[in-house]
Structure 1
Amino acid sequence: MANSYYLKIQTYLLELGFDVQHQDPANNLLVVSKPELGIDHLVLGCGEPLLILEQYLLDLPVPNGAIYQRLLQKNRDIIHGAFVLDESGRKVIFRDTLQLEHLDRPELEAVFNSLALLLSEFSDELIAFSKSGYEDA
C-alpha cells in the first residue's frame, strides 16, 4: 500500500509535467522521465523518512582512476545530488536523498533542475567517459 508521501511525490511529479513510466505503490517506487531536461528513467523511492532519487547515467568500459577523480571533483559543483558508483565501480549514477517530512514541490523541482543543469553542462565529458575517451589532463 502506498504511503501518503508516495501520493504527495506522485502529485508533484504530475504537476511538474513528468511522464510516469512505472508505478509500484506497494513498494513506494516511481520511475519517471522528462526528456526536455535530459531526465530518463529516474527512479524515486519513497521510504520513510527519505526520498531517494537515482538516475543511471552510463557504464564505464573499464575502471579508471582519472574518471573517478573527475567525477569526485564535479560533485563539488553539483547543487543537489552527486555522482555515485554501483558496487561494480562501473555504473555511474546520479543520486540524491531528501527528507520526506518537510519536502515541498520547489525543493523537489530544485533537484530536477540541478540534474538537468549537470547533464547539459557535463554531457560531453560523460559521453567521453563511456567511450574511454577521457584522458587525465
Structure 2
Amino acid sequence: MTNPYFAIVQGYLLDLGFDICHADEQQGLFVVDKPELAIKNLVIGCGDPLLILEQYLLDLPAPSLEVYRRLLQKNRDIIHGAFALDESGRKLIFRDTLQIETLDLAELEACINSLGLLLSEFADELIQFSKPQPAQLA
C-alpha cells in the first residue's frame, strides 16, 4: 500500500532545502538535516492522519523541578511544537504534530522555522540543562 502523502512531504522537504538522510515510504518515515538551522536527524513520520516531527535535543543528566519548570515556561513561547520527554524522562525532544490532509508548504516551513528559532534563542540554556549539576550542600 502506497502512502499518498509521502511524495508530497518529500517534495516540501526538498523545496525547503533539507538534506534527506533516510526515506522509507513503507514506514512513512524521513530523517532530515538542515545544518544552517542546527537541525540534525529530525525524524518525520508521515501517515494519515498526522505528520509527526521529532527532534532529539539532549539528555537531561540531572532533571529537576527547576529544569522542568523552565521547559514548560519556554513551551509557552514556542510558536509551533513543544518540548517533550521520552518515557525515561531524561531525553528532551522537540515534537510537533500537524494534520497531514491539509498540510501545505507554508505550514511545514512555519513548524521548521519554529524549531530553528527555538534552537537559536534557547541554545545556551539548553546546554546548561545538558550538564550535570553540582551536588547541593545540605
Alignment of 1:90-109 (within 5 A): 90-109=90-109
2:21 maps to 1:21: yes
2:49 maps to 1:49: yes
Gaps of 5+ in 1: none
Work out the CA distance in 1 between the residues paired with 2:83 and 2:20.
Answer: 23
- What percentage of aligned pairs have identical amino acids? 69
Runs of 4+ in 1 over 4 A off after TM superposition: none
**Deviation of the 1:117 alpha carbon:** 0.4
**Deviation of the 1:115 alpha carbon:** 0.4
The question of whether the paired residues in 1 share the 8 Å contact of 2:62 and 2:133 is answered with: no
Work out the CA distance in 2 between the residues paired with 1:87 and 1:61.
Answer: 15
Gaps of 5+ in 2: none
2:63 maps to 1:63: yes
RMSD of Structure 2 on Structure 1 (CA): 1.2
Work out the CA distance in 1 between the residues paired with 2:15 and 2:30.
Answer: 15
3-state SS in 2 of match to 1:68:
helix
3-state SS in 2 of match to 1:26:
coil
Deviations 1:8-62 (A, max 9, x none): 0000001111000011111000000000011110000012100000000000112
Count how many residue pairs are aligned between Structure 1 and Structure 2: 134
The question of whether the paired residues in 2 share the 8 Å contact of 1:72 and 1:83 is answered with: yes
**Deviation of the 1:132 alpha carbon:** 3.3
**Larger gyration radius, structure 1 or structure 2:** 2
Higher helix share: 1
